[in-house]
A and B are shown apart, each in its own frame.
Chain A
């Protein structure tokens, strides 16, 4: 057996065959009940050229393509390390944004139905086209690709303070729109400010439990406060960029002498033309994803202001599908690494230089969207954080969409949630049923495992009041 438990929250997958490093999975036994396929993917990632330390997986690990979802891998470009679009995922910079209202759940209660009715039509989602920002100027999309949320804020879709509360100040450096195909641009043109479908959502939530009052206050959160959480990504543009660059890298892999055990693990050295092209396009998609969340937040803010006279302040915006060049100590030596996080979240510890001054003593807010209708979490990074300062990204799926939809109808689920006090505005009944809470792992157990493994610390638990479902 090549898998052994090395702690209550940790498994080791021994290095064997073409693996260049071992695998390390942070999870309890019960969280790994369906781990066959995903552990194989941990092994496959360990074969990537230039991989450093280990092929890591977070407690919400589940079956992806190439990388498992919940996978983290760093490669060293100076040692021929590769970048793999499969290590980022199709939905580049898919992530989460949390806003806090100057309003308590008690104050909102009499107006909740009206609030959800007002949010329903202004949050574009589902199969048909439509977005908050209809781009009329040809240069507008280029501005978004280059500067993400910064561009959106400059154009009046947000507040300058928002940018202090976004990873990378709202835009990833090094975006190269020249590496984005016409098809990707066409797909992205009419989707700036839209949720999409699947597991994406906009939720009205309340702060149910505060685990760490000082850190919660620094994040701008207090008990009973109303929040808005937005979970979405870079829409068709990001997916097309992944598709295009996987194809290009797959064709060039023989030239670089690279073989991979799964076509979706296609990769190229970071320091090659294909590697640089992908990173430039990926940064452009990441900026699009951030602008997308910025526009949806803007739409929510307008509804809160008009209907309730309430303000929404940005707590933080994170990506959980991204590759970044970051400096990390490896065996006491600082090295510049290309860190892939696919369904995993960066979790900077207190004191990190990349944190804004008002958060530096507390660490990075890490936003974990939970299962629809159960709970979400705000975590923070910890000193000595493992897996290159990474942690989980969500609950992690347990059932297929097919299985989930067989278990309950969308209407039944809506009725159940409404009976529990949660207002639901779905885009399709089947889509709602596919996302029922039983289809996912228990997000509380995932977060407990992440904390137990030394990846992060809990700050706040949020529960939903209303769901606008993609």
Chain B
């Protein structure tokens, strides 16, 4: 596996999109790539103080194609923000036997975070990417804000 020129082994960044937010994430393995995607999504609209009180939430995702796992994970973040007023300060993912995923989300109250951009409301299937390439894993997705 080779490195991505000029980039750390794992990370995320915003990509241009006319109306909404498009985010790219990458990492050496699938689980870290998905975790970077969540971090990129949360960072696109909020800054979470390091001192914010945290609680752990565990989410199990049923076996599905990789792209659908990505969408489901991001949708979970969007749903929890609206329904429970919480967002993940960090996330760790582990593959489950049989193809699913377990996500451990360190949740903080949204009102403890600072808004820095438009809040995501849904994940689009348009232009959705999650691929394994010579450098590891890479995904790109667009969220409606």
- Chain A positions within 8 Å of B, measured between CB atoms, are 34, 37, 62-66, 69, 90-91, 126-129, 183, 186-187, 189, 191, 196-198, 235-236, 239-240, 242-243, 246, 250, 262-264, 266, 397-403, 405, 427-431, 434
Contact = CB atoms under 8 A, between A and B. Distances in A.
Interface of B: 14-22, 45-46, 75, 78-79, 81-83, 85, 110-111, 113-119, 121-128, 142, 144-145
A66 B19 CA distance: 13
Contacts of A428: 114-117
Contacts, number: 122
A69 B124 CA distance: 14
A183 B116 contact: no
Question: What 5 A-B pairs have minimum CB-CB distances, sorted nearest first?
Answer: A65-B126, A263-B125, A236-B82, A428-B115, A264-B126
Contact of A63 (B19, B46, B82): B19
Contacts of B113: 127
A400 B121 contact: no
Question: Which of A34, A239, A264 has most B Cβ within 10 Å?
Answer: A239
Contact of B118 (A91, A186, A431): A431
Contact of B119 (A64, A91, A197): A197
A401 B21 contact: yes
A240 B79 contact: yes
A65 B119 contact: no
B106 to A, nearest CB: 18
Nearest to B128: A263
A90 B144 contact: yes
B75 to A, nearest CB: 7
B124 A402 contact: no
Given A90-B144, A198-B145, A401-B118, A246 B125 contact: yes
B122 A243 contact: yes
Given A127-B113, A198-B145, A66 B126 contact: yes
10 contacts: A64-B19, A65-B144, A91-B121, A128-B85, A128-B111, A129-B82, A183-B79, A186-B79, A187-B79, A236-B83
A47 to B, nearest CB: 15
Contacts of B117: 401, 405, 428, 430-431, 434
Given A63-B17, A400-B18, A127 B122 contact: no
Contacts of A126: 115, 119
A264 B125 contact: yes
A63 B15 CA distance: 14
Nearest to A44: B126
A289 to B, nearest CB: 13
Nearest to A410: B116
Question: Which of A66, A128, A262, A405 has most B Cβ within 10 Å?
Answer: A128
A398 B18 contact: yes
A255 B90 CA distance: 40
Question: Which of A34, A401, A430 has most B Cβ within 10 Å?
Answer: A401
B47 to A, nearest CB: 10
A141 to B, nearest CB: 13
A427 B115 contact: yes
Contact of B121 (A37, A90, A129, A399): A90
Nearest to B45: A127
A267 B131 CA distance: 26
Contacts of A399: 18
Contacts of A191: 82
Contacts of A264: 124-126
Given A90-B144, A196-B119, A197-B118, A397 B83 contact: no
B16 A402 contact: yes
B19 A62 contact: yes
Contacts of B22: 400
Contact of A90 (B16, B46, B81, B122): B122
Contacts of B121: 90-91, 196, 235-236, 239
Nearest to B111: A128
A403 B16 contact: yes
Contacts of B124: 65, 90, 264
Contacts of B15: 402
A429 B45 CA distance: 11
B53 to A, nearest CB: 16
Given A183-B79, A263-B126, A430-B116, A127 B110 contact: yes
Contacts of A198: 118-119, 145
Nearest to A237: B82
A401 B20 contact: yes
B87 to A, nearest CB: 8
Contacts of A401: 17, 20-21, 117-118, 145
A297 B22 CA distance: 33
Nearest to B121: A239
A426 to B, nearest CB: 10
A135 to B, nearest CB: 14
A235 B122 CA distance: 10
A400 B79 CA distance: 25
A62 B83 CA distance: 31
Contacts of A397: 18-19
Contacts of A183: 79, 83
Contacts of A196: 119, 121
Nearest to B114: A428
Contacts of A263: 125-126, 128
Given A126-B119, A127-B113, A34 B79 contact: no
